[in-house]
Amino acid sequence: MIREPFPEPFLTTDGIHNLRDYGGYEGADGAHVRKGLLYRSGQHIEASEADLDLVQSLDIRTIVDFRGLSERTSFPCARHSDFSAEVIAFEGETTSSPPHEGGLDKTDMTAEKGRQRMISVYTRMPVNPAMIDMFKRYFQSLETRGGGNLIHCFAGKDRTGVGASLLLHVLGVHYDDILTEFMLTNDAPTQHILERQSLPRMEAHYGEIEPEAIRNLIGVREEYIGTYWQEVTRDHGSIDNYLAQTLGVDEQRKARLRDRLLA
């Protein structure tokens, strides 16, 4: 079977949703984020042999899995027979209410309720101790480990999207480009994979879900990442203060990351 190539920056896959290189953007001092080092995706439970060969070919030496323990147990990632990357994960739960799971409220899932649910995810994330820990470990891995780095969660859009956005900010990428990269998730040619993995679980909880509600739950909106930025700025004065005070990415670490990841 010949796999038709996906449009850049997406990598062509059979069973991995939203796998893409998030490098290439202009960063500090006119330099550009290196390509071929930074990757993001959804989970790899349905990865085909060709997908595993592809991931293996990328020289990914570190995988940062933002999923919690229950997600990793229910959806174990497939691995190449020669897989040797270090996997960084949290020994506990990283979210109390992932979009792909039913929440406490079993009322009809309307578009507005889906939107509000996602806004609450991004409102809580800046103060979530598990995600603070994982973002710290993510930045540490980028500074101390060679080769490629892949970040992912269940859908590769919320926890993963924030992680990628924070790194791009550290590298001096303009917010407009950070937003463009974040919104690329809606253009992923693999939406059917995410729907197959997430919709049955959501429908078992809510019943029939409005199409716009589905888009709000399994896609992204500009206001999602905007909410995260707003919450951090309100509480810390700026994203840079949050990075330094909460995640340990001060000016010295920022310089070291730019030396490694900009060209």
Residues recognised as catalytic = 153
Cis peptide before 9 (omega within 30 of 0): yes
Distance, in Å, from the CA atom of 141 to the CA atom of 249, rounded to the nearest integer, reads 12
Q: How far, rounded to the nearest angstrom, does the alpha carbon of residue 96 sit from its chain's CA centroid?
A: 17
Distance, in Å, from the CA atom of 151 to the CA atom of 135, rounded to the nearest integer, reads 10
Distance, in Å, from the CA atom of 36 to the CA atom of 20, rounded to the nearest integer, reads 10
Residue 210 CB coordination number (10 Å)? 16
Distance, in Å, from the CA atom of 34 to the CA atom of 217, rounded to the nearest integer, reads 31
- Per DSSP bridges, beta strands 20-21 and 38-41 are antiparallel
**Burial class of 119 by CB neighbour count within 10 A (0 to 12, 13 to 18, 19+):** middle
